[in-house]
């Protein structure tokens, strides 16, 4: 090479090699474990407008692009110049690992950090960016969830099963949002408060006291760093928040395009309520990727607003296609082709 030494890429670690080996197996396992869904998908697609299904695909692509822009914006906020192409690649890896592998988001974050290291991004910065993404994502989800709660509480047929979890989760997010605002006002006190709270919890679990204390210190420092970065550059911090809001708008657009494809016009308030309910149960569900949970919840919300059961079922199934199956295969193909 003209006598010049070539510096090797940073070692991505064993996780990178493991994902390379098990990625095809994970795809096969996911497909085989959900074969029953394909008959429902085929039934939902029958008679649907191809043009509006294409519009749903475009909205899904916009969702992914805005996800990548959130990561890209958080990297910039933390002082790292990561190209958009790398942010897009990391987004797809995160989506695939979160959907296809056990432990969901935790696994996705692990592989996100591993892939980021391979792209010459330091592991602590990658982990901080992943955490920052969720802070902006949930922050942008707050107004959507609050709007859904107002609409659902005003619906006489809204079921208790849909209202209670949304209300509880909405309260938790509001509390976290309030804590985030406090952290922005007092960034120098965040780490100490988290460490003190962890100390109180550690009294209940003495066997895990040392581990909990160490994790609290690390988390506190990371959140404190994010709060300090936002306070230093509020204009730059507004960019990932804007894209986080736009990605949720694109998700609502996917659901709206699906209904038009099915020959139905649904008010925006209903779309927001169904989307918010599906998003909440996607987070709190104990089943992998919220399998068997998101669809019934969305159907419950939609039918409470007078949508016929068969239409609600078809819309929920197709929404799952665009928010689960397309990101899953897109992430797998993009990751394998990039090698």
What would the pLDDT profile of 94-103 be if each residue is shown by its tens digit?
888 787 776 6
DSSP 185-208: H-GGGHHHHHHHHHHHHHTT-GGG
Q: How many CB atoms lie within 10 A of CB 213?
A: 15
Q: In 3D, which of 117, 158, 164, 190 has the Cα closest to residue 280?
A: 164
Number of C-beta neighbours around residue 94 at 10 A: 27
Half-sphere exposure of 280 (CA within 13 A, CB side): 29
Residue spans per domain, the chain: 14-27+48-338
| Residues 6 or more apart in contact with residue 54 via CB below 8 angstroms | none
pLDDT for res 105: 72
pLDDT tens per residue across span 202-227: 565 655 556 555 655 565 666 667 66
For the stretch 283-324, pLDDT in tens is 766 555 556 678 888 888 898 888 999 999 999 999 988 988
Comparing CA positions, the residue from 121, 132, 91, 123 lying closest to residue 108 is 91
The residue behind tokens 């990658």 is 126
Residue 332's Cα: distance from chain center in Å? 17
Q: How many Cα atoms occupy the beta-carbon half-sphere of 261 within 13 Å?
A: 26
- Angle, helix 268-284 to helix 309-320, in steps of 10 degrees: 60
Q: What is the pLDDT of residue 1?
A: 37
pLDDT in tens, 183-208: 555 666 656 666 666 565 556 565 55
- Nearest to 191, CA basis, from 217, 230, 229, 226: 217
**Which is more confidently placed, 145 or 30?**
145
Phi first, then psi, for residue 219 (nearest 5°) are -60, -45
Q: What is the pLDDT of residues 2-38, one digit of tens each?
A: 333 333 334 445 655 666 666 667 667 767 666 667 7
What sign results for the dihedral spanned by CA atoms 19, 73, 338, 124? negative
Distance of CA 171 to the CA centre of its chain: 19
Spatial distance between the Cα atoms of 293 and 239, rounded to a whole number of angstroms: 33
- Residue 45 in this model has a pLDDT that exceeds 80: yes
Query: What pLDDT, on the 0 to 100 scale, is given for residue 69?
Result: 95
Residue 303 φ/ψ region, left for φ over 0, alpha for ψ in the -120 to 50 degree band, beta for the rest = alpha
Q: Which of 170, 171, 138, 166 is nearest to 152 (CA)?
A: 166
pLDDT of residue 65: 95
Query: What whole-number distance in Å separates Cα of residue 322 and Cα of residue 251?
Result: 9
Is the distance from CB of 244 to CB of 136 less than 8 angstroms?
yes
Distances (CA, A) of 271 to 77, 137, 302, 304, 333: 32, 19, 8, 12, 30
Whether residue 179 is predicted with pLDDT greater than 80 in this model: the reply is no
Q: Which residue bears the tokens 């692009």?
A: 65
What is residue 338's predicted lDDT score, i.e. its pLDDT? 63
Residue 39, burial from CB neighbour count under 10 angstroms (0-12, 13-18, 19+): exposed
Reduced to 3 states (helix: H, G, I; strand: E, B; else coil), residue 156 is coil
Q: What is the pTM of this model?
A: 0.77
């Amino acid at each position: 090479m003209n006598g010049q030494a070539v510096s090797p890429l940073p070692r991505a670690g064993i996780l990178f090699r493991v994902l390379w080996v098990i990625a095809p197996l994970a795809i096969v396992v996911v497909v085989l474990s959900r074969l029953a869904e394909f008959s429902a998908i085929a039934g939902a697609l029958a008679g649907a407008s191809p043009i509006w299904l294409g519009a749903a695909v475009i909205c899904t692509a916009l969702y992914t692009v805005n996800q990548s822009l959130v990561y890209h914006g958080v990297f910039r906020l933390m002082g790292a110049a990561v190209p958009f192409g790398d942010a897009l690649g990391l987004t797809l890896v995160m989506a695939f690992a979160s959907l296809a592998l056990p432990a969901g988001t935790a696994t996705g974050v692990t592989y996100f950090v591993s892939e980021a290291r391979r792209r010459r991004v330091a592991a602590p910065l990658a982990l901080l960016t992943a955490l920052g993404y969720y802070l902006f994502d949930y922050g942008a989800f707050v107004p959507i969830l609050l709007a859904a709660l107002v609409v659902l509480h005003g619906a006489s047929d809204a079921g208790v099963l849909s209202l209670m979890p949304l209300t509880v989760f909405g309260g938790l997010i509001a509390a976290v949002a309030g804590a985030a605002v406090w952290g922005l006002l007092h960034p120098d006190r965040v780490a100490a408060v988290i460490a003190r709270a962890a100390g109180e919890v550690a009294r209940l679990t003495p066997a895990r006291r040392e581990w909990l204390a160490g994790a609290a210190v690390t988390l506190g420092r990371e959140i404190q760093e994010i709060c300090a970065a936002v306070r230093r550059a509020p204009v730059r911090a507004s960019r990932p928040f804007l894209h986080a809001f736009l990605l949720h708008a694109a998700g609502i657009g996917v659901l709206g395009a699906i209904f038009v494809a099915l020959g139905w016009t649904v008010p925006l308030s209903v779309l927001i309520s169904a989307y918010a309910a599906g998003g909440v149960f996607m987070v709190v569900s104990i089943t992998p990727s919220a399998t068997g949970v998101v669809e019934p919840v969305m159907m419950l919300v939609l039918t409470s607003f007078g949508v016929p059961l068969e239409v609600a079922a078809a819309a929920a199934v197709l929404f799952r296609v665009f928010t689960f199956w397309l990101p899953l295969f897109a992430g797998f193909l993009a990751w394998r082709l990039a090698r």
